Amino acid sequence: MEQVDISKLYLLVEDFFKNDTTGHDWWHVIRVTKLALQIGQKEGANLGMVEPAALVHDCDDWKLSAGEGYPNTIHILSNAGYRQKQIDEIIEIVKQVSFKGAGVDTTPSCIEAMVVQDADRIDAIGAIGIARAFAYGGSKNRPMYLPEVKPQLHQSFNEYKSSKSHTINHFYEKLLLLKDRLNTPTAQRIAKERHDFMVNYLEQFFNEWNFEQ
Ligand code: ADP
Ligand code: NI
């Protein structure tokens, strides 16, 4: 019987993201996996499930392939030696990870999904979260800030897509909300410093924007 080879899974996922054009990247996956392992260990989760789930969590983006199954995830996991039953369990975890808009409740049902979701959310805040937001906004040709467009909360991704937006708004509709959407106490502790950093960053941003001598 074929054996699971976790180092092969790392290589397969790295290879997959090398050619990615959707704004996700391998370093995000690595950071999330490391964070998920640290949080998972403190929270007593099954790391044998947390690690592969974190590695594949962005291989089938729900925004791109929602409802279409998980073709890339299945392909990669079976190449790394995972059996159908394990693949189904890992996909169950991955399904529960995404943030689907401020109005959508996405609380996971198992500790492994909670841990991977927390790790993914922590990588969206703090200094790295700020960098990712502006990189993403730039890739979509969004202006960094439009003072005439007041911060607004979008209740769904579709509503968001059709709106005129800017990257600073993304802080108000998602990034600043994440600290209160974390599942585990370990993640809440890690998030505090990163959240406070974003709040200070925004204050400084607006001070500079409205600079008067
Ligand atoms: P992930 O599941 O890895 O968080 P997303 O596709 O939701 O993936 O987002 C990728 C990154 O881009 C995240 O850091 C997220 O905060 C950022 N991002 C997503 N949508 C926007 C947006 N409209 N403006 C700025 N940044 C965004
Ligand atoms: Ni992610």
CB 64 within 8 A of CB 22: yes
- Does residue 100 form part of some domain? yes
% pLDDT > 70, the chain: 85
Residues for the chain: how many in total?
Answer: 213
- Does residue 204 form part of some domain? yes
Burial class (CB in 10 A: 0-12, 13-18, 19+), 75: middle
CB 154 within 8 A of CB 163: yes
**197 C-beta neighbours (distance < 10 Å), count:** 15
User: Does residue 179 have its Cβ closer than 6 Å to ligand 1?
Assistant: no
Among 190, 151, 146, CA closest to 174: 151
- Does residue 151 form part of some domain? yes
Q: Ligand 1 centre from 58 Cα, in Å? A: 11
Among 8, 202, 39, CA closest to 116: 39
Tell me which of 47-56, 157-166, 187-196 is least confident. 157-166
CB 128 within 8 A of CB 136: no
The pLDDT of residue 79: 96
- Does residue 158 form part of some domain? yes
Domain count across the chain: 1
Check: complex ipTM more than 0.90? yes
- Does residue 117 form part of some domain? yes
- Does residue 85 form part of some domain? yes
11: left (phi over 0), alpha (psi -120 to 50) or beta: alpha
Calpha distance 83→179 (Å, rounded) = 35
User: Does residue 120 have its Cβ closer than 6 Å to ligand 1?
Assistant: yes
Q: Which atom of ligand 1 is nearest to the CA of 129?
A: 14
Domain ranges, residue 64: 6-209
- Does residue 1 form part of some domain? no
The string of pLDDT tens digits covering residues 80-133 is 999 999 999 999 999 988 756 566 667 898 999 999 999 999 999 999 999 999
User: Does residue 118 have its Cβ closer than 6 Å to ligand 1?
Assistant: no
CATH number at residue 11: 1.10.3210.50
